[in-house]
Amino acid sequence: MNANERPLDVVILAAGQGTRMKSAVPKVLHPVAGRPMVAWAVKAAQEVGARQVVVVTGHGADQVEAALNGSGVMFARQEKQLGTGHAFLCGLDALTDHQGADVLVLYGDTPLLRLETLRALLDDHRERDSAFTILTGELPDASGYGRIIRDRQGNVERIVEHKDASALERTVREFNSGVYLLDSRATDLAHRITNNNASGEYYLTDLLGLYRAQGSEVHAFKLDDPGEVIGANDRTGLAEAEGIIRQRITTDHMRAGVTIHMPETVYIEDTVTLGRDVTLEPGVILRGQTSLADDVTVGAYAVISDSILEAGAVVKPHSVLEGARVGPGSDVGPFARLRPGTVLGVGVHIGNFVETKNAQLAAGVKAGHLAYLGDVTIGEETNVGAGTIVANYDGVNKHRTAVGAGVFIGSNSTLIAPRTVGDAAFIAAGSAVHDDVPEGAMAVARGKQRTIEGWSRRYWGGLREQVNGKLPWLAAWLGKQGD
């Protein structure tokens, strides 16, 4: 079979505990840039073209498997963590058919490994028709890592674990990343790994000697940037890894035509898509299935999750959007909150301190200040006055309200759902609307104003003694009124 046609099976080792996280959450589930670490490995495996992916779980296995549920991977349990060699064997058991396949080994705690690196590793392995290719890196001090020991000709001879290494071997700068590409003999050879070493573990690295004993050459593929395989072992490592991924993502967007002010403060998950001439101000956070079309501007410290912003939309500072759709040319904020089910048409204006939920606002609707619009449809060009509340909840159930086009809702009105307001209707300010309003009608629903002349003088006069001591301005005013 042509090397490039060989299927690729991937075993991801993720059974370790990660005590340095000091956490109830398994190490590989700690998120980096919006994804659990192990999910980065799964993503890399799938993107490099894996036929089967098996994740070896142990510590927190139930949680890890639940987190990856639906991602199309298989699981193998490693009940006791007897070493990487043993973990690999557990993984192989789960693969349904591995004859003739290349086998790639990844770790669940190295989220920085780039897809381009994996592709280059795979190409190298296949071009050389290699039996065993190790991904290595070089560090001035590779303490803690297994070292790559080469013979006089420079061929890879063995890997020695730090614990088992001599003083001289510890000066070697080339280290084992733990990523390997193996031919299908690995499945048989791995059974011959023993635990005769400093830690009494089954070392996957022993495979190397087993391959060589069969007369196979082992190749090393050296990383340009050793940082790609540095695992995140504690929370500072997590933050560092996240910083690197975050920077990669913002850099890619800037190269593709997005303006980002103070990019070091902007956080964009890799699931987000951005159009051309999008502008992001400092502190913007974009998460999940969010997509911003061309010419969208997002103001400082806005947080946008799972939302779609169409061309030219503007989100002003400190707004929070979740599960919303904002139509072309609409503007939102500052300090607006759009909750799930919000759909804004073309040129809608949402101002400060407006909250929407499950609200469909047609083209040209304006809600400029201080409103709650929940479970409501609002027709074109309707004006929602400051302080309008759609009272959608009766204490037990939520009800919907439908407002027509060209309606004028006066300030501080309450629409008590379920309610229907016809096109071009007019609601007087301060109304508590508890009946439907037909097309073109005017509704006033508030107490009629009573004005009682001289009321203040009588009221405060009765309290004159107390007013004298406590409220000098009122006392002076009462003095001017005469008795």
Q: Can you tell me which of 40, 75, 132, 175 binds ligand UD1, judged by CB under 6 A?
A: 175
* Catalytic residue flag (residue 369): yes
Separation between Cα atoms, residue 178 and residue 136, nearest integer Å = 8
Is the Cβ–Cβ distance between 457 and 440 less than 8 Å?
no
Within 8 A by CB and 6+ apart from 194, the residues are 202, 206
Q: Which is nearer to ligand UD1, 16 or 299 (CB)?
A: 16
> CB neighbours (10 Å) of residue 244?
18
Least separation in angstroms between residue 205's CB and ligand UD1 is: 5
Cα-based distances in Å from 23 to 57, 60, 233: 17, 11, 12
Q: Which is nearer to ligand UD1, 14 or 343 (CB)?
A: 14
221 binds ligand UD1 (CB under 6 A): no
Least separation in angstroms between residue 60's CB and ligand UD1 is: 11
Q: Which is nearer to ligand UD1, 28 or 274 (CB)?
A: 28
Q: Which is nearer to ligand UD1, 169 or 294 (CB)?
A: 169
Q: Point out the residue whose Cβ comes nearest to ligand UD1.
A: 146
Q: Which is nearer to ligand UD1, 82 or 300 (CB)?
A: 82
Q: Can you tell me which of 205, 290, 401, 420 binds ligand UD1, judged by CB under 6 A?
A: 205
Q: Can you tell me which of 21, 68, 102, 107 binds ligand UD1, judged by CB under 6 A?
A: 107
Least separation in angstroms between residue 138's CB and ligand UD1 is: 12
Least separation in angstroms between residue 392's CB and ligand UD1 is: 49
Q: Which is nearer to ligand UD1, 109 or 322 (CB)?
A: 109
Angle at 277 (CA atoms; ends 356, 359), nearest 5 degrees: 10
**Per-position x/- string for 17-56, each x denoting binding to ligand UD1 as judged by CB under 6 A, each - no binding:** ---------------------------------------x
Is the Cβ–Cβ distance between 217 and 130 less than 8 Å?
yes
108 binds ligand UD1 (CB under 6 A): yes
176 binds ligand UD1 (CB under 6 A): yes
Least separation in angstroms between residue 394's CB and ligand UD1 is: 53
**Per-position x/- string for 58-97, each x denoting binding to ligand UD1 as judged by CB under 6 A, each - no binding:** x-------------------x--xxxx-xx----------
Positions annotated as catalytic residues are 369
> Which positions touch ligand UD1 (CB under 6 A)?
13-16, 56, 58, 78, 81-84, 86-87, 107-109, 145-146, 159, 161, 175-178, 203-205, 231
